[in-house]
Copies of this chain bind each other. A is one copy, B any other.
Amino acid sequence: MSVLKGAAVIGQSGGPSSVINASAYGAIKAALDSDVITKVYGMQNGIVGLLNDNLFDLGKEDPAELAKMKYTPSSALGSCRYKIADPDEDDTDYKKILEMFRKYDIRYFFYNGGNDSMDTCNKISKFMLKNGYEVRCMGIPKTIDNDLAGTDHCPGFASAAKYIATSVAEVYRDCHVYDKGMITIIECMGRHAGWLTGAAALASLTGNGPDLVYLPEVDFDMPSFLKKVKDIYAKNKNVLVAVSEGIHDKDGKFIVEYAVSDAAVDAFGHKQLGGLAAYLAQECKNATGAKVRGIELSLLQRCAAHCASQTDIEESFAAGQAAANNAIAGVTDKMVGFECTRENGKYTCSTKLFDLTVVANAEKKVPREWINEEGDNVNEKFIAYALPLIQGETQMGHVNGLPDFVNLKKVKA
Chain A residues near B (Cβ < 8 Å): 12, 16, 45, 48, 72-75, 78-81, 162, 165-167, 169-171, 173-180, 184, 202-203, 205-208, 258-261, 264, 266-268, 270, 272-275, 278, 282, 293, 295-296, 298-300, 302-307, 309, 311, 387, 390-393, 398-405, 407
Contact = CB atoms under 8 A, between A and B. Distances in A.
Contacts of A278: 272-275
Contacts of A259: 266, 272
A334 to B, nearest CB: 25
Nearest to A307: B306
B304 A167 contact: yes
Contact of A166 (B178, B260, B306, B393): B306
Given A80-B178, A402-B166, A403-B206, A298 B293 contact: yes
Contact of A402 (B206, B270, B295): B206
A132 to B, nearest CB: 32
Contacts of A270: 282
A75 B45 contact: no
Nearest to A80: B179
Nearest to A72: B173
Given A165-B402, A177-B79, A170 B274 contact: no
A273 B387 CA distance: 37
4 smallest CB-CB distances across A and B, nearest first, come from A74-B173, A79-B177, A174-B303, A45-B179
Contact of A45 (B48, B162, B178, B260): B178
Contact of A272 (B165, B260, B307): B260
B305 A79 contact: no
A259 B179 CA distance: 30
Which of A166, A173, A205 is most buried by chain B, counting CB atoms within 10 A of its CB?
A173
Given A299-B171, A304-B167, A405 B178 contact: no
A246 B53 CA distance: 47
Contacts of A304: 167, 170
A75 B175 CA distance: 10
B307 A178 contact: no
Contacts of A407: 207
Given A401-B390, A407-B207, A78 B177 contact: yes
A24 to B, nearest CB: 12
Given A45-B179, A390-B402, 9 more contacts: A16-B173, A16-B177, A74-B177, A79-B177, A167-B304, A169-B403, A170-B306, A170-B403, A293-B298
A402 to B, nearest CB: 5
A403 B389 CA distance: 15
A296 B296 contact: yes
A264 B292 CA distance: 11
A173 B298 contact: no
Contacts of A176: 74
B73 A174 contact: yes
Nearest to A207: B407
18 contacts: A45-B177, A45-B178, A48-B179, A73-B173, A74-B173, A75-B177, A162-B402, A169-B403, A171-B303, A174-B299, A174-B302, A184-B299, A203-B402, A207-B405, A272-B278, A307-B307, A387-B400, A391-B400
A393 B397 CA distance: 10
A202 B266 contact: no
A405 B171 CA distance: 12
Given A73-B173, A299-B171, A166 B403 contact: yes
A27 to B, nearest CB: 18
A391 B401 contact: yes
A394 to B, nearest CB: 10
